[in-house]
Structure 1
Amino acid sequence: MDFAVSNRPLEKSKADALIVLLSKKSDLPEALPDSTREHISQFMKAGDFSASKGQLGWLHAPQGINAARLLLVGTGDSPLSDHSWLSLVQKTAKALTAAPVKQALWLLDDAQPQALEWQVREGTRVVEESTYRFDAYRSNPAPASKLAKLTFWHAEKDAALAKAHKTGKAVAVGVNLARDLGNLPPNDCFPEYLSGVARDLAKDYEKLTVKVLSQAQAEKMGMGAFHAVAKGSERQGQIIVMEYKGAKPTKQGPVALVGKGITFDTGGISLKPGATMDEMKYDMGGAASVFGSVKTVCELGLPIHLVAVVAAAENMPDGRAARPGDIVKTLSGQTVEILNTDAEGRLVLCDALTYVQQKHKPHTVIDIATLTGACVVALGAHAQAVYANDDALSEALLTAGKETGDRGWPMPLWDEYQSQLDSPFADMQNIGGPKAGSITAACFLSRFTKDVKWAHLDIAGTAWVSGGMSKGATGRPVPMLTRYLMNQC
């Protein structure tokens, strides 16, 4: 979909719909012609629209403007929070896509506390995400939305607003790539497929280069934990390395993203229950968000040096699969006793984390993973867990989440939890028992990131929506990650 910014007089701005946000307390926007304001007032006095929060009302053939209809959006009787504003945009976008609207004009709201630049940037992103569909496997997909263009209107056209809608569009493109990858069925989306996605991105963007390590190469290098997971499948595991040089490498080193890419998770020998196992195609949500973030960074041409690593494997109960009780040696030299093969994400991640530190010397590493069911119990589907060994990094990620509505929540990473990983036979075991499962998983990863600023995002509750026709990948936390990266620039 196309987006634009305009300050052309509303009387001359042709559109199928003009969107106007109205509150219970504020006067009607002065930018509207007097006849339009009078028409809206009569509509409201008749009781057809009260401007309550979240209320939508269509007003056809409005007077004084060159739009076929008005879409009135109620904001209630108090200023909207950022999250409420984004929810309202999402609801409005769904109404637009369900109507016979090809071109819409959005009257920016000076009465709200959000900056106009923020409204355009995040509004563009949310509208674009709201029109997303995944119909690749339908023989008879439903008719697509007619909405083709959304223009944000403000009396004073500003170059910053034009830049904002381009930024929002680029983030949405990354989010939707992540959603596509997550929604693909696991018979088509497997480790080698993800390698192909990386190579295709490198063809599209000259600043991006890709290197892929085969399962055999990873094993030869000493990635015993990664190999223990990958060897249980006929699909070969892959370590996918994408390097974006939007800025010259410095002594400080790049920022690194590391994504868990388990393209399907049976649990291995520690087999999962059959119910909802189909959703384990989403266990590569961390990897999907890395691909989406790389896509956005390339689209924006950010002046940053970024390395992104995806540890891609299937976790299957083959005859060669790892067993509970096996002990493996990681690339770091530390040994791990595998007590549960369904705690496989931390095994592929620990070797990927060591690899990126050894080969690329980053100053900051962020790993992203659908790591634990315990995180879903703790935070539900609203916030991803944020762990970090550096307070400034944690705060930067949380701030990025607040700025985009892709929120996180800080979690403890205290030494007292580390003893739950003690093993009588190896340096550590891969699970810490029934208590604090998300925390002990983060503690496990922290043992491989002692000499670098590091954060871990557990996105098990936010990477996809379960159940019914709304089921599907969300593309989170691409908005948080890309905003963090933009803020670093």
Structure 2
Amino acid sequence: MKVRVQDSPKKTQLLCGFALEKSDKVLGLPKLDAKTSQVVKQSLKDIEGKLGKMIIIPIVGKKQFQRILIAGIGKKEDITKDTFRQISGKIAQKARELRLKEFSIISPPNFVIDQTSSSAQIVQGVKMALYKFEKFKAEKEQNSPDLTIIVSKSNKILQAIKTAEIVADGAIFTKSIANLPPNECTPSTLANFARIISKNKMKCKIISKPELKKKGFGGISAVGQGSKNEPKLIVLEHNKGARNEKPIVLVGKAVTFDTGGISLKPGAGMDEMKFDKCGGCTVLGIMKAISELKLPINVIGIIPSVENMPGGESYRPGDIIKLYNRKTAEILNTDAEGRLILADALAYGEKHYSPKAIIDFATLTGACIIALGTNVAGMVSNNEKLSKKIFESSKNTTEQIWELPLNQEFMDMIKSDVADMKNMGIGRAAGTITAAAFLRNAIENTPWVHLDIAGVAWTQTATKEKSYNPKGATGFGVRLVLDYLQNM
């Protein structure tokens, strides 16, 4: 899909404009002949500018527009950035449904919303809404119509559109990998993706099974030892900031398939455990976008990747393992594996990079879905300043998060009688927070934010429908963290 920018509408198969609720005009629509103007006025009455309502008007005769689409955006005071992302996504899907080769969207004037912002959201909405995971289908949807944005050209707007394309492509890259089935995506596959995006742009280091054991990555080694697909620790380095500037470290859980190990999961819904790699895929998407944006900062991406399988060499409930930071963990449940591999990666990132902040992403706990549902991610942090910045970026990108507490009472819930800690809390109480408490033990003093994305990483039964999040992986966290990094 190509994106073009024009100052005014030219010949197009579909000219699309927005209308406010109960308005008698389409925002930015050029002057039309009397007959077409009358039809447009009547169509406006039909949809009343209600949010999400659309109507298409065929244009008779040899005109520069074959059709005009009017999309309602609701009341002016209720408009958000996500309004244009969501509605533009719907427009794009309609254009594809009509099998068009191209279509044009008029960016609304500044009195509605800043045109720089709206143009960026239009691009993001269109690109992400047109994404389809069709790798394994014999008959593929070939049609992805090109987009033309009608807006007054300026360097600021052109740059915002270019950035929006890269950010959207980062989210799509994340979705494409996260949607891969487990037989097509092992820890080695993820390592290859990292190598591909790092070429001539970033440093890439892959730590494999023998070295993982030798260097004391007890969590990653234990969880991965039951599978013939060996574990990997993937490290990407984007060093474009000052040499003495401390980096941001991003850590993403990537369990390419999670059976639960010896503590086997129920069969129903186990196919969705291909999405247990979404945290790592998020880090890959962010790092790809960072390198393409050429952000003048230092960022390290660390992805511990394993396949959690039952077998003769699997780790067991009752085992005691030594993590990278030399603390010991009693294993009560092998399905609480994500915190083990993350603890290793977090400790490694802090020790080797002395970062200014650490952010981790993980489909960590089903308890997070019980607590917050499937549209809000859980956040746990040891630093109020960092968590506030992440929360602000979540509002900017409409990737919702909610902060949960982490005090000493929760830390006490994972104390073990026979080791430094155990990998489960007390019963089902505060499951999301006790998992975060385990991770907190891996970090000394670095500002840290943990995002539990178990409910939001892919579309589930209660997931709110969004045009730019088709069924499957959502790429949650890519846009959020890129917003945070760009605002630094």
What TM-score does the superposition give when structure 1 sets the normalisation length? 0.93
Q: Does 1:254 align with 2:247?
A: yes
Equivalent of residue 417 in structure 1, options 410, 420, 424:
410
Task: Give the secondary-structure state (helix, strand or coil) at the position aligned to 1:105.
Answer: strand
In the alignment, what sits opposite 2:32? Answer: 35
> After superposition, what is the alpha-carbon deviation per residue over 1:60-95, rounded to whole angstroms, capped at 9, x for unaligned?
117996211111001234432333343222222221
In the alignment, what sits opposite 2:135? Answer: 136
- The residue type paired with residue 143 of structure 2 is S
In the alignment, what sits opposite 1:399? Answer: 392
Q: Give distance in 2, aligned partners of 1:418 and 1:105.
A: 55
Q: Give distance in 2, aligned partners of 1:422 and 1:37.
A: 77
In the alignment, what sits opposite 2:188? Answer: 192
Task: Give the secondary-structure state (helix, strand or coil) at the position aligned to 1:286.
Answer: helix
Change (3 A) 1:243 1:17: same
Whether the 8 Å contact between 2:28 and 2:108 is mirrored in structure 1 is no
Q: Give distance in 2, aligned partners of 1:296 and 1:417.
A: 36
Change (3 A) 1:284 1:418: same
Change (3 A) 1:328 1:146: closer
Equivalent of residue 168 in structure 2, options 167, 172, 185:
172
Equivalent of residue 183 in structure 1, options 179, 185, 192:
179
Whether the 8 Å contact between 2:219 and 2:341 is mirrored in structure 1 is yes
Q: Does 1:227 align with 2:230?
A: no
Shift of 1:419: 1.5
Q: Does 1:19 align with 2:12?
A: no
Whether the 8 Å contact between 1:259 and 1:349 is mirrored in structure 2 is yes
In the alignment, what sits opposite 1:4? Answer: 4
Task: Give the secondary-structure state (helix, strand or coil) at the position aligned to 1:473.
Answer: coil
In the alignment, what sits opposite 2:120? Answer: 121
- The residue type paired with residue 171 of structure 1 is V
Q: How does 1:308-457 map to 2 (within 5 A)?
A: 308-432=301-425, 433-457=427-451
Shift of 1:298: 1.2
Q: Give distance in 2, aligned partners of 1:87 and 1:359.
A: 41
Q: Give distance in 2, aligned partners of 1:159 and 1:62.
A: 37
Equivalent of residue 143 in structure 2, options 145, 167, 172:
145
> After superposition, what is the alpha-carbon deviation per residue over 1:441-473, rounded to whole angstroms, capped at 9, x for unaligned?
111111111310111010001111136996411
Whether the 8 Å contact between 2:324 and 2:348 is mirrored in structure 1 is yes
Task: Give the secondary-structure state (helix, strand or coil) at the position aligned to 1:451.
Answer: coil
Whether the 8 Å contact between 1:131 and 1:145 is mirrored in structure 2 is no
Q: Give distance in 2, aligned partners of 1:278 and 1:164.
A: 39
Whether the 8 Å contact between 2:116 and 2:157 is mirrored in structure 1 is yes
- The residue type paired with residue 304 of structure 1 is I
Task: Give the secondary-structure state (helix, strand or coil) at the position aligned to 1:281.
Answer: helix
Task: Give the secondary-structure state (helix, strand or coil) at the position aligned to 1:196.
Answer: helix
Shift of 1:139: 2.0
Larger mean Cα displacement after TM superposition, 262-271 or 444-453: 444-453
Q: Give distance in 2, aligned partners of 1:36 and 1:487.
A: 46
In the alignment, what sits opposite 1:472? Answer: 472
Change (3 A) 1:26 1:453: same
Shift of 1:43: 4.0
In the alignment, what sits opposite 1:303? Answer: 296
Equivalent of residue 463 in structure 1, options 457, 463, 483:
457
Shift of 1:41: 4.5
Q: Give distance in 2, aligned partners of 1:405 and 1:222.
A: 39
Q: Give distance in 2, aligned partners of 1:62 and 1:348.
A: 63
Q: Give distance in 1, aligned partners of 2:472 and 2:150.
A: 33
Q: Give distance in 2, aligned partners of 1:36 and 1:289.
A: 49
Task: Give the secondary-structure state (helix, strand or coil) at the position aligned to 1:290.
Answer: helix
In the alignment, what sits opposite 1:51? Answer: 49
Q: Give distance in 2, aligned partners of 1:415 and 1:236.
A: 36
- The residue type paired with residue 188 of structure 2 is E
Whether the 8 Å contact between 2:23 and 2:48 is mirrored in structure 1 is no
- The residue type paired with residue 100 of structure 1 is R
- The residue type paired with residue 11 of structure 2 is K
Change (3 A) 1:223 1:77: closer
Whether the 8 Å contact between 1:33 and 1:65 is mirrored in structure 2 is no
Task: Give the secondary-structure state (helix, strand or coil) at the position aligned to 2:253.
Answer: strand
Change (3 A) 1:36 1:98: farther
Percent of aligned positions that are identical: 35
Q: Give distance in 2, aligned partners of 1:430 and 1:41.
A: 68
Whether the 8 Å contact between 2:414 and 2:434 is mirrored in structure 1 is yes
Task: Give the secondary-structure state (helix, strand or coil) at the position aligned to 2:100.
Answer: coil
Whether the 8 Å contact between 1:336 and 1:430 is mirrored in structure 2 is yes
Task: Give the secondary-structure state (helix, strand or coil) at the position aligned to 1:294.
Answer: helix
Q: Give distance in 2, aligned partners of 1:230 and 1:101.
A: 48
Q: Give distance in 2, aligned partners of 1:179 and 1:476.
A: 9
Q: Give distance in 2, aligned partners of 1:483 and 1:111.
A: 22
Larger mean Cα displacement after TM superposition, 377-386 or 467-476: 467-476
Q: Give distance in 2, aligned partners of 1:286 and 1:37.
A: 55
Whether the 8 Å contact between 1:36 and 1:62 is mirrored in structure 2 is no
> After superposition, what is the alpha-carbon deviation per residue over 1:213-270, rounded to whole angstroms, capped at 9, x for unaligned?
11221111111122110111111100111111122331x4111101101000000110
Q: Give distance in 1, aligned partners of 2:271 and 2:30.
A: 54
Change (3 A) 1:134 1:30: closer
Whether the 8 Å contact between 1:28 and 1:37 is mirrored in structure 2 is no
Runs of 5+ consecutive residues of structure 1 not aligned to the other structure: none
Larger mean Cα displacement after TM superposition, 402-411 or 81-90: 81-90
Q: Does 1:283 align with 2:276?
A: yes
- The residue type paired with residue 25 of structure 2 is L
Whether the 8 Å contact between 1:58 and 1:70 is mirrored in structure 2 is yes
Q: Give distance in 1, aligned partners of 2:80 and 2:449.
A: 27
- The residue type paired with residue 48 of structure 2 is S
Shift of 1:58: 0.2
- The residue type paired with residue 144 of structure 1 is Q
Shift of 1:309: 0.5
Runs of 5+ consecutive residues of structure 2 not aligned to the other structure: 463-468
Q: How does 1:22-101 map to 2 (within 5 A)?
A: 22-29=19-26, 31-35=28-32, 39-45=36-42, 48-61=46-59, 66-79=64-77, 80-101=79-100
Q: Does 1:202 align with 2:198?
A: yes
Shift of 1:2: 1.1
Equivalent of residue 157 in structure 1, options 131, 153, 156:
153
